Amino acid sequence: MPRRSVRTISPTATDRQENGDEAPGDDLQPIEATGDQESDRQASASKSRKTRKITSIQSNSKQTKGKKGKLRQIPEMPLDILYEIFGHLHPYDLLRVARTTKALRAILLRRSASDLTEPQYASLAFDSFCHFCAAPSIHSTFWECRVRVCKKCTQTHFMCREDILMSFRLIMENYKYALPCMPSGSVPAGKYRDLTLYPQVSAEALHDKIQSLGDDKDKISDLFKQEKAKTRSLRQARQHARLCEMWQLDCQSGRSRELQTLREKRLEAIIEKVRQLGYGPELEHYGSYSFAKHPLVNKPQALTDRVWSHIKQGIISLMEETRPKRLRRAHINAIHGRLALAEKVFDEFKATHPYNAILPNPAELYTLPECKALVLEHADDVILSVQDFKPIALQLPQFCEEWRMSAELELLRLMTPANSTQGLPTVHDRRQLELATTYFECRECEEPIAYPRILVHHCITSTLNIKFMSSPSDTDDDTTIMKKSRFLLHAQPWSLGVGVLVYTDKLPEAVRCILVACGLDPDTTSSQDMDEHDFRFECENCSSITEGALLMNWSMAVEHSVQHQAQNWKLASDAESARAKELDKDHETSRSYHDYLSEWHGFPSDLGCVHCKSENFPHGVLQDHLASKHGINLMTKDDYYVKLDAPPKKRPVRLLPEPSSALTS
């Protein structure tokens, strides 16, 4: 005879009050057993007790699990205690608790709403799965449609306005009235636009209704009136949906802040751990932003001892990879800093000379053996000062003289013809360079340049004209690092840039014509002699009866000579020279400061400060420099000077014939 169960389902009082259909399970109550059943149960219990007694010693160290059914008396607790407990739970946890028993469901939930039950509302708000395909981690909710939908199901279960009109094009004129009658949702359709979608089921149902009415416009009109009446409740649902969307955005923002807080705390904890391991300098070199974005660091997860044990080796490996780069950068920075100290010593030396003195730029100083020794022979962590570079100042006069002689010898070699039988010059002869006929042409600025300006021409010494500039790399040696450090000063040694110069015979021939016009020997007359004479020359090629004669000084005449193939120059008379000089003077005094600066358009600027020998001021900056550094608010021509590298800026002057001479002629 088969044995019957001794347990049966006993409904509780709350079951009779509940009107929903959601109840995972009911309480089971035991009933009294018969005599035979009681004896069998006692024997089984006795046997069980013996077994437990024997095995209790073996499982004493194991953690005992909670016995099933121990929490079934929770609904019998006082309500104030239950509400206090439930008040600390997240709404999603309350939803899970309400799904356990009907008794807890009756306590936590009210009667169902008109369109959704309270658990369905909670599921819509707090669950994270798609209502169509059950895909996890979905947070796109169409509140008006009461569904949560993934991206894939959005394309299969929803339609946009254009799709509806194209699919049901037979009666598409009716859908401008039909669309407001259907619930909708929106998805991003770009950076600044949202796309409104309608449930495909609702669109098809409305379409079937319209199709069933045929061409009866009155019935169709009545149908839309009925649908329009339904939009009142839909309007309330839409208002509620807007509130739900705002609430969801607030929740997402709060969650984002919570996750960001977790990331920040994790970052701070990892940084503290890394510093305790002695990798503080490596951490600073790696960069706070890059370190915070590292995959091992950028996680919204608290840094527990267990988590740290998992990522510790990866962080250490990262810091070990960073250490050589940090040491390399420290070495380069040490070299740059010491070269800057050497530059300060050179600036102090330069301040003791006139502003028009011929001196090398600071990049030449890097080739001095004593300077290289101070820069490279000390450890990177040794801090040097300007006083450590003071001994170099004692060697600077001799160093500058040797530099100038070497540069002048290179210029003499450029002047030697390629087919010369005498070979390249080995003896220094400055007189050849000082001749008024000695001119070089710069291939960068295409300008004729004389001595001694050629020694300080910025196209030769400036790195701004170099097509390719790079920073020191990990494979560069110390000498290469020092060479590339010149780019910080925008300067290079004169010997490296001399390749932009070329010596031609065309310009000296034009200068010879100018010198012959004033009766001077081209083979012995120097540029200084011509500056002292301050002659004025007339270009007969440009003279006209209506505009008059074109007069200019000798340096401007040299620049002007390249405009003519044939050279026709005449020395102006003393009276004409006096008139031309007077016009030059009037022109200088009549110009404003800004008009004067407008002529100095080269880069770097050709103006310098007389008081501190600072140079390369852009337009308009010199006035600010004088006011801030020297307390000079009104700048005069005694406060600045024109650099030696400045091209001649005297303008040609037009002289009309005197009335008396015109009548005489």
Q: How much is the pLDDT for 663?
A: 40
Integer CA distances (angstroms), 165 to 222, 231, 376, 559, 597, in order: 21, 21, 79, 79, 71
Contact between 164 and 205 under an 8 Å Cβ cutoff? The reply is no
State which H helix or E strand residue 562 sits in.
none
Q: How much is the pLDDT for 588?
A: 55
Which pTM does this prediction carry? 0.58
Instruction: For residue range 559-608, list pLDDT tens digits in order.
Output: 888 888 888 888 888 888 888 888 877 655 544 444 444 444 444 467 78
- Dist. CA 319–CA 283, nearest whole Å: 7
Q: How much is the pLDDT for 404?
A: 92
Burial class (CB in 10 A: 0-12, 13-18, 19+), 537: buried
Q: How much is the pLDDT for 36?
A: 45
Positive or negative torsion for Cα 356, 361, 362, 364: negative
Contact between 104 and 74 under an 8 Å Cβ cutoff? The reply is yes
Question: Could you tell me which residues come within 8 angstroms of residue 595 by beta carbon, excluding any fewer than 6 positions away?
Answer: none
For tokens 């981690």, the residue is 137
* Inter-helix orientation angle 217-276/200-212, to 10°: 180
Parts of the chain with a pLDDT under 70 = 1-71, 110-114, 168-177, 418-427, 463-475, 485-490, 586-605, 618-619, 648-650, 657-665
> Other C-beta atoms within 10 Å of 141: how many?
20
Angle at 95 between CA 93 and CA 100, to 5 degrees: 95
Q: Which of 542, 544, 527 minimizes the C-alpha distance to 648?
A: 527
Contact between 331 and 339 under an 8 Å Cβ cutoff? The reply is no
Q: Which of 532, 638, 629, 536 minimizes the C-alpha distance to 582?
A: 536
The DSSP annotation for 502-558 comes to E--SHHHHHHHHHHHHTT--TTT-BHHHHHHHT--EEETTT-BTTTBEEEE-HHHHH
- Dist. CA 508–CA 567, nearest whole Å: 12
Instruction: For residue range 325-343, list pLDDT tens digits in order.
Output: 999 889 988 988 888 898 8
Q: How much is the pLDDT for 207?
A: 80
Contact between 319 and 282 under an 8 Å Cβ cutoff? The reply is yes
H runs (alpha helix) in 302-429: 305-351, 362-365, 369-376, 390-415
Contact between 372 and 482 under an 8 Å Cβ cutoff? The reply is yes
Q: How much is the pLDDT for 422?
A: 60
Q: How much is the pLDDT for 283?
A: 94
Report CA 380 to chain centroid distance, whole Å: 30
For tokens 């407001």, the residue is 180
Q: Where are the domains of the chain?
A: 1-39+73-127, 151-303, 331-502, 506-606+643-664
